[in-house]
A and B are shown apart, each in its own frame.
Chain A
Amino acid sequence: MGTAFFELRGISKYFAKVIANQDVSFSIQRGEVLALLGENGAGKSTIMKILYGLYKADEGKLFKDGKEIKIDSPKEAMELGISMIQQHFSLVPAHTVTENIILGNVQGVIDYKLFREEIKKLAELYGFELNPNDYIRDLAVGVQQKVEILKALYQKTNLLIMDEPTAVLTPQEAENLMGFVRDFTAQGNSVIFITHKLKEVMSVADRIIVMRAGRVYGDIKRAETNELELSKLMIGRDLNWVTKDDRQESLDQEVRLEIKQVTLQEKTGVPALKDISLTLHKGEILGIAGVSGNGQRELCEIVCGAILPTKGRVLVDGEDITERKIRARIDLGIGYVPADRSSDGMIMDMSIAENMLLKSSYDKKWQKRGFIDKKKLNQYALQEIRDYSIKAPSPETIARGLSGGNQQKVVLAREVDNGEKVIVFDQPTRGLDLGAVNHIHQVILKERAKGKSVLLVSTELSEIFALSDRIAILYKGEIQGVFNSAELTTEKIGLLMAGFREGEVSNDAG
C-alpha cells in the first residue's frame, strides 16, 4: 500500500468528564470507501469533526499524502479537499438549490445564469435529477441530501465525509446513495461513512474501522469479515436478540384502542393525517412504519391527547376519549414515549427521581401532608434504576449527565408504569447503542405479554419487523395498508413507504 491519502495518528480528544477519542489512528486511501462503524457515543462523529476542523484534537497528528497538516477550521479542511455532510443538513430552506450551493463561495455581483449551468452540468455528471431553481423547502429529504452532496462536489471535494447519511432515507433512496458513492470513488475520490448500521457497511465499504468507547477496535477489509464479527467488535459482547418464537397469537383478544376516521387539518390547510382508522388489541404490538415526518408524531399525540383531531374519534375500551386532555388520558393509563425525549419527554435539568414524578405530580401517592414524599419517590426511582439497569449513581443524578440510552430508559421506566393499558412508543430506540436497543425491545415485549397494547412508531424497519404483530404503513398522513408482519417483505414495505399503493406494489414486487 502506498502513502495514505489522509492519515490520523494518535488522536485523543477530551471533553469535560468524557474521553471522546483516545489514541485513534487510521488512514484512508484514494478511491476507498471507509466505513466508520460504532455505537452512538463511540466517538465516530468526534473524530470526523476533528478531521473537518470543527474540533481541535488534544493530542495527535494529521497527515495528507504523508505530509503533516494542521486543520483549524472547516474552511481549511475544504481547501484540502475535505467536505463533511452533517447528520442535520445545513441548507437554507427559503433559498434555491443554486443559492445554497454557491453560498459562501461567491463575491460581488452574482451571475446566476452561469452558476445554474455549472450546477446543472455537475448534477448531470453524477446522474442527479435536480432542478437548480427549486427551493430547498419543496424538496424531499433524499433530494436535499443530494444538494448537500453537490455542494461538496462543487467545492472540488476529494474526501467526502457523511454522518449517518441513510438515517433519513427510504430503502430506495439509500440504494441510490450507495450507487453514487461507488461512482464517486471510482474516480479516485474517497468517502468516509459514519454509521451504526451493519448492513450498509457490508454493502458499500471497502474497509471498516470499528470504534468503541472512543478507541479503534478493528481495522478490517470488508471481504475478510462478516456482520457477526463486526457486531461483536462494536458492542464488545454477545447480544440475545429478541425473536418471535416466544410469542403467542394475539388477534383473538379484545379491542383496546380504536382510532376512527381521524383527520388532522394543519393551519396551512394541508392535512397532517387523513382519514386514519386503526384498531389495537390487548396484548398486541401494532407497528407504524414510514419515513419520519409522514404524520407519525401527530398520530402519537392524538392518542396521548396533546392535540385534538379535526375529525374522527378515539376510543379506549369502547369509551370515547376524543375530547379528554392529556392528564385525563394519563389517569386512564395511556403512556407515551415521545421521539424527542429532550424536548417532550423529560426535564434534563432535573434529577432522575424528579423525572419519574413528571406525569404523576398530581397523584396523591407521591404526597405526604401536601409535600412531596421524597423518600418514597427516591426508593421508587432506585428500584427503577435497578430494574432497567440505568447507569446512574443515585436517584438524585441530574438527567442531563446520563447517556442517551440511559435517559431513554428513564422515560421508558416511567411510561411503562403510567401506561397501564396503552403505551405509545415513538422511535423508542433512535440514536441508541445496540445494548440499550436490545434492552428496550425486551421491555416492550414484556409489556405486551402482560396484555398491554403497544403502538410502536419506528423508521427502523428491522425494529418494526422484530416486534410488531401487525404493521401499518404511514405515508403523507395516510395509511397505505395494514398487514400481518409475516405478509411483508423489506422490499414491499419500502415501496409502500415511498408512496406506492398496495395494488401497485403487488404488481411490482410480487
Chain B
Amino acid sequence: MMQAKLRDLLITNILAIVLGLVASGLMLLFLGKNPVNAYSVLITSVVRDGYTFADIFVKATPLMFTALAFAFTYKANLYNIGAQGQFYIGAVIAAAGSLLLQNILPGWLVLIITLLLTIVGGGLWGAFIGFVKARYNSNEFLVSMMSTYVALAIMNYLLRTFLIEGKAEYPQTDALAASVWLPRIIPGTRLHIGFVLAVLACVGVWVLLYKTPLGYRIRAVGYNAGAAEMSGINAKKLYMLAFFISGALAGVAGFTEVNGVQHMLVQGFNPDLGAAGIGIAILANGNPIGIIFAAILFGALKVGGTIMGQMSGIPSSIIELMQGFVMVFVILSYFVRTWLENNREKRKLQKAVAK
C-alpha cells in the first residue's frame, strides 16, 4: 500500500509539472514562439556553465527563507503573507548594521551581529502581527499583508535619508565593504554560505516542529486551537511566538540577499520573494524539507527564465506564468491522489467481500 502511495505521489507530481509546462507552452504558441525550442533553451541554459548552475541555488536561498516563514505560521493555522515586508526589514537592518560596524569590528563578527539583528528585527516585526491577533483578535492575514507596505515605506524613507549613498544620487546605500560579504562556497560563482544557512534553517524548522514540545504545541494549536486551549496550552502566546519565528526567518532572507548577493541595499529589490515563498510552501505542502527541493525548482525556473528571455526574445514573465501553472497542477494533484486512494481502498473492500 505504501508503494502505491509513493507511486501516486511521484507520478502525480511529475505529471503536474509536465502539465504546467504544456499549459504554459500553449501560451508560448499564442506569442508565436516555438515552445519546444523555448524549453530546450531553458533546460540547456541552466546547465551551460557552473556559474549559471550555481545561480539556481543563489536564487533558491531567499526563497527557502520566505517559504519557511509562510510554512511555519501555516502549521499553527495562521497566515503570514507579509514575508515580503519582514524580508525588507531584515534587509534594511542588514545594510544599516553592516555599514555601521564594518569599519569598527572584524568582518566575521559584523556578520554574526548583523545576522542576529535581522533575526530580532524581522522577528519583532512579525511578532507585532501575532500580538494584535492575540490581543485584539485582528485578522492576521490582513495585518501581515498591510505590514508589507509599511515596511516598504520605512525602507524607502530610510534610503532617501539616513541610508542614502554618499553621493546622494539614487535611493540606495553605499556598497558594503568586501569584509562583510558572506563568504563564497564555490569560487567563480555567486554561491555564498547563505545557501547552507537556508538548508540548515529548513532542517532546523523541521526539527523544531516535529521533535520539540514547542513545535508540538504549535501544531496542536494549528490543528485544533480549542482542544489545545482546553489542554492548558496558551494559544495566544504561541501566536506571537510563531509570528516571531516566522518574521525572523523572512528577515534572514534580507541578510543573505544584502550581505551575500547585492552587497548593498537598493530600493524595492526582489519584490516577489514573499509571494513566491507562499507558492513554494504550498508546493511543498508546508513540509520544511520539501521546501528545500521546491525552492530549488523555482530557483531553476527563475534562472532559466531570465536566460530564455535574453536568448529567444520570450518575455521572462512567461516563467512566472509557468510557475503559476505548475503550482495549480501540483495543488490539483493532491486531490487526485486522495481520489485515487479512496478508489483503491473501495476496490479492495469490494474484492474482499466478493471472495
A-to-B contact residues, CB < 8 Å: 12, 14-19, 22, 58, 304, 306, 325-330, 336, 338, 343-350, 354, 357-359, 361-362, 366-367, 370-372, 374
Contacts and interface: CB of A to CB of B under 8 A. Distances in A.
A358 B227 contact: yes
A345 B226 CA distance: 8
Contacts of B220: 347, 350, 354, 358, 361
A350 B216 CA distance: 10
Interface in B208-230: 211-213, 216-217, 219-220, 223-224, 226-230
Interface string B335-351: 00000011101100110
A22 B350 CA distance: 10
A347 B227 contact: yes
B10 interface: no
Contacts of A17: 345, 349
B37 interface: no
A16 B342 contact: yes
A304 B216 CA distance: 22
Given A19-B349, A326-B232, A362 B213 contact: yes
Nearest to B224: A347
A12 B349 CA distance: 11
B9 interface: no
Contacts of A12: 353
Given A304-B230, A345-B227, 17 more contacts: A12-B353, A14-B349, A16-B342, A17-B349, A58-B350, A326-B230, A329-B232, A330-B231, A343-B224, A343-B226, A347-B220, A348-B223, A348-B224, A361-B216, A361-B233, A367-B213, A372-B212
A338 B231 CA distance: 11
A366 B234 CA distance: 19
B350 A344 contact: no
Contacts of B353: 12, 19, 22
Nearest to B230: A344
Contacts, number: 83
Contacts of B346: 14-16
Contacts of B345: 16-17
Contacts of B219: 350
Given A17-B345, A17-B349, A344 B216 contact: no
Given A349-B223, A361-B216, A361-B217, A372 B230 contact: no
Nearest to B220: A347
A354 B216 contact: yes
Interface in B152-202: none
B211 A371 contact: yes
Per CB-CB distance, the 5 closest pairs between chain A and chain B, nearest first, are A327-B232, A16-B342, A326-B232, A16-B345, A359-B231
Contacts of A361: 213, 216-217, 220, 233
Contact of A306 (B229, B233, B341, B342): B229
A346 B350 contact: no
Contacts of A357: 216
A326 B227 CA distance: 12
Contacts of B349: 14, 17-19
Contacts of A328: 232
Contact of A347 (B223, B234, B342): B223
A411 B342 CA distance: 28
Contacts of A370: 212
Nearest to B344: A16
A349 B219 CA distance: 10
Contacts of A347: 220, 223-224, 227-228
Point out which of A18, A354, A359, A361 has the most chain B C-beta atoms below 10 A from its C-beta.
Answer: A361
A304 B349 CA distance: 44
Contact of A345 (B213, B230, B341): B230
